[in-house]
Amino acid sequence: MKPSLRSLAVVPATLLLFMIIVLCLPPAYAATEPAQDQAPGRTMAQQATKEKNLWITVDHSRIEALQKDFRSGLEVTQACLSCHTEAADQIHKTIHWTWQAYQTEDGSVHGKGGDSINNFCISANKMQDKGCLSCHPGWGNETKTINCLNCHSNKTMNWVEAFEDLSAFADSDDPGEKEIADELRTNLLASVQAVVRPQRQNCGECHFKGGGGDGVKHGDLDTSLTNPNKALDVHMAVEGRNFECTRCHTTILHNIAGRVYTKPAATDRKSLIDDDLAPKITCESCHTSKPHAADSKANDHTDKVACQSCHIPKFARVNPTKMSWDWSQAGKTKDGKPYKTQDEFGKDSYLSIKGQMRWDKNVQPEYFWYNGSISSVTVKDKIDPGTVVQVSHPVGSRDDANARIFPFKVHEGRQPYDKVHKTLLGPMLSGPDGYWKTLDWQHAISKGQEALQVPYSGEFDFVDTTYVFPITHMVAPKGQAVSCEECHVRTDGRLAKLTGFYMPGRDRFSPLDAMGWIVVLGSLVGVCLHGLTRMFTGGRKEDK
């Protein structure tokens, strides 16, 4: 056969064989086909959260015990407890009532009702700082009787004021005052009878406004979540799944799932679908640990990267959140009077009673290894004032099988510490002795430490601190998830600070790379020289 014919036959044969091989190989591209069914994790999540038609058998407005002329919070609570006989006992055991998590061996009680410290308003001074009590589920500033309606009424109400006014006007003969009293009665009764399962604004009243204002603390929890759209939160979106907080934060005997810190919400990463464990609360509870399309590389990441790390690219996407708080700047006055300044968001950037504060919007989280627990410093723990004190910090390492790379808001602070005892201090802020009244650190700290029953040397200074919040709300639509290159990049990636393991695209062994390129370029230079030499020496003399 002639060479030209042979070579002609090669073309179709080659093509055929290549096609056979390609057809035998569906691996990588099949996964990216949009024509395929949606990812199994999505299907599972929809199945797990299928609309439950929760039935209601009680119309509280028709309950006889709630038809009373209520004169105090105590009477309302008694009416609730006349049917819900065990509710008070249950609440009294929960952290929502005690604000105490657990006691460590050295005797310090963790929790804001105990010895815990943060870098916002620092300490609740064992509940003696009344400014902190607006969130306690009692009536007004007292901690004796539960206010069931804090969480269970869909009408918000200033109970203290309402009851005070009522008792002032109730027995009046003046027709005008009588009218006011009747209106108050109507409003009170409406609120008392508007009993619901807790809704977003119930939980949000405290959790959106933690630290004393909208978005101060969490960054992923603020009033924008009362009626979020899909771009802000795919789960809670009003036009979408419209989840209430309780959809995920499930409850057993008034104990609400989802608490982190030393007792994480879930220690093992099991799917809810596996055995229908209602109180577990992780993304995997609904989405399973393989939530993406089959063979998707993203499924391989779930063992080391939390869902939140990719699916919450930024927090505080609608309302700004406080990023730092420098107490050492507090106390300045203008013309002898306290003053304040505001930033571009209309938020307080300086307050004489609070100091310098920085707010930010659309914040990129910081990432740490996190096993679901957070270690925190109490008023009794020794600190090293020479370093930035981690008032709270995520627990976990790469070697910890339960730890994942997780996004956090890190709040920077500068707050008082005891120069002799090397402990953080809990000044009293509100009340007649509080710093907000006196602008006198020495006095406020003494009073605060007294309330905490922790000694104070009398010498204080300020120290830099950090405090962390896990970012887990404000899950963005999947199209806005963090892209591969935001981490797998040589410099300035999101995970640039997480070292100690090899990450493709980011890490390399520089000596190997250098050697490799020397070999490659050396080869190139070598063949060029060889070729040039051939050209100049003539080569192939016998062919000429």
Partner 1 sequence: MERVKKINMYLYTRYERFWHWLQMLLIVLLLVTGLEVHGSFMLLGFERAVEIHNFAGITWLIAFSFFIFWIFTTGEWRQYIPTTRKMFQVIRYYSYGIFRGESHPVPKRKEAKHNPLQRLVYLSLAAFLLPVQMVSGLLYWLYNDWQAWGLTGLSLNPVVLIHTAGAFAIFSFIIVHVYMTTTGHTVSAHVRAMITGWEEVEEGEVQEWEKSVRRTPAPR
Where do contacts with partner 1 occur on this chain (CB under 8 A)? 3-4, 6-7, 9-10, 13-14, 17-18, 21-22, 24-25, 27-29, 32, 297, 300, 303, 483-485, 488-490, 501-502, 504-506, 508-509, 512-513, 515-517, 519-520, 522-524, 526-527, 530-531, 533-534, 537-543
Asked if 310 and 481 touch (Cβ cutoff 8 Å), the reply is yes
Dmax (CA) of the chain: 131
Q: Which of 401, 374, 406, 407 is nearest to 303 (CA)?
A: 401
Nearest CB to partner 1, comparing residues 29 and 102: 29
Rounded to an integer, what is the distance from CA 523 to the centroid of its chain? 54
SS3 513: helix
Say whether 504 sits in a helix, a strand or coil: coil
The nearest distance, CB 531 to partner 1, in angstroms, is: 7
Residue 466 Cβ, how far from partner 1 at the closest point, in Å?
30
Place of tokens 């996190």: 370
Check residue 39 and report its DSSP letter.
P
| Contact between residue 332 and residue 353 where contact means Cβ atoms under 8 Å apart | no
Give residue 33's identity as a one-letter amino acid code: E
* Min dist. Cβ of residue 482 to partner 1 (A): 12
Q: Which is nearer to partner 1, 317 or 404 (CB)?
A: 404
Shortest approach of partner 1 to residue 4 CB, angstroms? 8
Q: Which is nearer to partner 1, 291 or 431 (CB)?
A: 291
Q: How far is the CB of 239 from partner 1 (least distance, A)?
A: 30
Of 26 and 458, the one with the shorter C-beta distance to partner 1 is: 26
**Three-state DSSP class for 393?**
strand
Nearest to 118 by CA among 376, 502, 473: 376
**Per-residue CA distances from 284 to 268, 273, 289, 308 (Å):** 10, 9, 5, 11
Output the smallest distance, CB 512 to partner 1, in A. 6
CA 227 – CA 212 distance, rounded (Å): 21
Smallest distance, partner 1 to C-beta of residue 492, A: 12
CA distance 2 to 177: 117
CB closer to partner 1, 455 vs 531 = 531
Q: Which is nearer to partner 1, 339 or 517 (CB)?
A: 517
Based on CB atoms, which residue is closest to partner 1, 186 or 533? 533
In angstroms, what is the minimal distance from the CB of 288 to partner 1?
15
CB nearer partner 1, residue 13 or residue 58: 13
In what helix (H) or strand (E) does residue 397 lie, and over which residues does it extend?
none
Cβ-proximal residues to 469 (8 Å cutoff; 6+ apart), any chain: 217, 218, 219, 220, 408, 409, 411
